[in-house]
Structure 1
Amino acid sequence: MRNLMAIDANFWASLVENPWMIVVHILDILIVAYLIYRLIKALAGTKIMSLIQGVILFILLRFVAELIGFTTITYLMNQVITYGVIAGVVIFAPEIRTGLEKFGRTTQVFLQTQHMSDEEKLVQALVNSVAYMSPRKIGALIAIEQTQTLQEYISTGIKLDADVSSQLLINIFIPNTPLHDGAVIIQGNKIATACSYLPLSESKAISKEFGTRHRAAIGLSENSDALTIVVSEETGAISITYKGEFIHDLSKENLKVFLSRHFASEKVSKTAWYHRFLGRREK
């Protein structure tokens, strides 16, 4: 006990003399905690996780047996622990390898300087899908919910609740498929519905060259703050509507820049930036 008290006194004395050690110890604990968390997460769902739980329970029982004074049981448990580690490695070699591979991939992702956010993944999926559909003149209407809910229009469609991907968006709008007619509504990071009906704009200023998809996109922008992307079935032209603004004939590169800037900052006035970006306005 005196030795422990002496060690404890020396420990606190060292902290007083060198306050920086407090930060070092805290950092040390946080790193160990993070590594244990990542290891547990990497092994979750594997057979080796069940083995680890069993080993922890076995060790606890061993300490209980030692406290009670069961000498023989404690000795046998010590032998099992000693040789059980080797047996466990041999038996669960595939699971251990899989877990370490997961842990290694997690570390690689953590060390990467560029990590795609949810917004970047959404932009990439939208751009890739539009880049495929535009030259093939596959008509598309994609509405992205912003601060105002689109539940009124979501209720008119067919519920999907699927992760956003360019492959899924392309397949939805392939002609003559059950879901190609109507709008896809994206809510958060999910495709909420397909085949939804949007309100048509009654503005007489809209050129007759624009069909129902464009009128629906403009109509939604007049009734909400949703961002809507349109691909023309007749020409393959790409258009965007937002808060009553209609921007027509975007290139793939301009669409990517447009969407990236839109999702990157909510502090900048979107409408004002639209005019600076393209230098023109169509209604």
Structure 2
Amino acid sequence: MAEILKHVKWQDIVDILVISFVVYRLLLLLYGTRAMQLVKGLLVIGLLSALARLLELSTISWFMGQILGIMVIAVPIVFQPELRKVLEELGRGNIWKRHKVQKRAESIADEISKALIYMKSQRIGALLVLQRETGLKDFWRTAVILDAAISQELLISLFWINNPLHDGAVILDQSRIIAAGCYLPLTENSELSRWIGTRHRAGLGVTEVSDSISLIVSEERGEVSLAINGHLSRNLKDDQVHKLLVHYFSDEDTSQQSFLDTLREEIKSLGAKEV
């Protein structure tokens, strides 16, 4: 090792640091996209190829080399939209901002997730509405305007049983708690089970007239449900709720359709019951 270090120049160290930093920033841009799964697959293939060469397994080594050759041609074609987006964000300078946006999204998601976990454990009913492109001013302008930072303690206190605002909904956007004590339209879906209560019907109803997302805590069952685009999914797991919130708070530049697709994939992958 000492002999190798003698031949290392300061330029070599700078080269390694710069390349490592660039790769790290590119991976941050790819995080949360389909292309990230591709990167993981390429790493696995590369490791298997290196292991095959180390063990002198010539057939496996040749086969892995052929796969990597095909991938070099196929990747730019299959993942053209993702690669174009990475280059566009690189040109705008978003490569430096993505990490901050992700950290902020995870921090807010943590606050809301902890509040939901506490409320369902204590059987405190709650209804959170996440505003998106369609404004919900018709529902919050007659409520109690808060314009407050999102925090676990504030959310819990708003739905505390003796709080006069606990029966209404709390409306949030991607940065603040807009208002509390909001009253929402009930769903017109006549096929719902009669055991679905008023809070769930209100959470579902607002998603039928807007592109908003509702998170409902059931005081009877101690579970969290999700309403989106007129569909209700019950008994979400804690890690699922957290992932959905991170997607919401970090997804400002994503189209509505891709965002809905992401939510549906998360629901299916973690086995929430859809009503």
Q: What TM-score, normalized to structure 2? A: 0.57
Query: Is the contact between residue 203 and residue 215 of structure 2 (CA under 8 Å) also seen in structure 1?
Result: yes
Alpha-carbon shift at residue 281 of structure 1 (Å): 6.3
Larger radius of gyration: 1
Alpha-carbon shift at residue 116 of structure 1 (Å): 6.0
Q: What is the aligned partner in structure 2 of residue 234 from structure 1? A: 220
Alpha-carbon shift at residue 211 of structure 1 (Å): 0.6
- Write the letter of the residue equivalent to 2:267: L
Query: Is the contact between residue 123 and residue 260 of structure 1 (CA under 8 Å) also seen in structure 2?
Result: yes
Q: In the TM superposition, what whole-angstrom CA distance separates every residue of 1:193-213 from its partner, at most 9, and x where no partner exists?
A: 111101100111212222111
Query: Is the contact between residue 233 and residue 273 of structure 2 (CA under 8 Å) also seen in structure 1?
Result: yes
Structure 2 distance, partners of 1:147, 1:173, is 26
User: What CA RMSD, in Å, does the superposition of the two structures yield over aligned residues?
Assistant: 2.2
Q: Structure 1 274/187 Cα, relative in aligned 2: closer, same or farther at 3 Å?
A: closer
Q: After the TM superposition, which residues 258-269 of structure 1 pair with which residues of structure 2 at under 5 Å, given as runs? A: 258-265=244-251, 266-267=254-255, 269=258
Structure 2 distance, partners of 1:233, 1:278, is 22
Structure 1 distance, partners of 2:150, 2:250, is 18
Q: What is the aligned partner in structure 1 of residue 267 from structure 2? A: 278
- Write the letter of the residue equivalent to 2:151: S
Q: Secondary structure at the match of 1:159?
A: strand
Q: Structure 1 125/278 Cα, relative in aligned 2: closer, same or farther at 3 Å?
A: same
Query: Is the contact between residue 127 and residue 217 of structure 2 (CA under 8 Å) also seen in structure 1?
Result: yes
Alpha-carbon shift at residue 192 of structure 1 (Å): 1.4
Identity over the aligned pairs, expressed in percent? 33
Structure 2 distance, partners of 1:174, 1:125, is 17
Q: Secondary structure at the match of 2:195?
A: coil
Q: In the TM superposition, what whole-angstrom CA distance separates every residue of 1:81-111 from its partner, at most 9, and x where no partner exists?
A: xxxxxxxxxxxxxxxxxxxxxxxxxxxxxxx
Q: What is the aligned partner in structure 2 of residue 124 from structure 1? A: 110
Structure 2 distance, partners of 1:130, 1:228, is 13
Structure 1 distance, partners of 2:191, 2:123, is 25
Q: What is the aligned partner in structure 2 of residue 65 from structure 1? A: none
Query: Is the contact between residue 118 and residue 189 of structure 1 (CA under 8 Å) also seen in structure 2?
Result: no
Alpha-carbon shift at residue 270 of structure 1 (Å): 3.2
Q: Secondary structure at the match of 2:243?
A: helix
Q: What is the aligned partner in structure 2 of residue 178 from structure 1? A: 164
Structure 1 distance, partners of 2:183, 2:115, is 21
Structure 1 distance, partners of 2:178, 2:101, is 25
Query: Is the contact between residue 275 and residue 281 of structure 1 (CA under 8 Å) also seen in structure 2?
Result: no
Q: What TM-score, normalized to structure 1? A: 0.56
Q: What is the aligned partner in structure 2 of residue 101 from structure 1? A: none
Alpha-carbon shift at residue 184 of structure 1 (Å): 0.6
The answer on 1:145 being equivalent to 2:131 is yes
Q: After the TM superposition, which residues 1-283 of structure 1 pair with which residues of structure 2 at under 5 Å, given as runs? A: 117-265=103-251, 266-267=254-255, 269-279=258-268, 282-283=274-275
Query: Is the contact between residue 102 and residue 250 of structure 2 (CA under 8 Å) also seen in structure 1?
Result: no
Q: Structure 1 115/142 Cα, relative in aligned 2: closer, same or farther at 3 Å?
A: closer
Alpha-carbon shift at residue 114 of structure 1 (Å): 7.1
Unaligned runs of 5+ in 2: 1-98
Query: Is the contact between residue 174 and residue 249 of structure 2 (CA under 8 Å) also seen in structure 1?
Result: no
Alpha-carbon shift at residue 171 of structure 1 (Å): 0.6
Structure 1 distance, partners of 2:183, 2:238, is 26
Q: Secondary structure at the match of 1:219?
A: helix
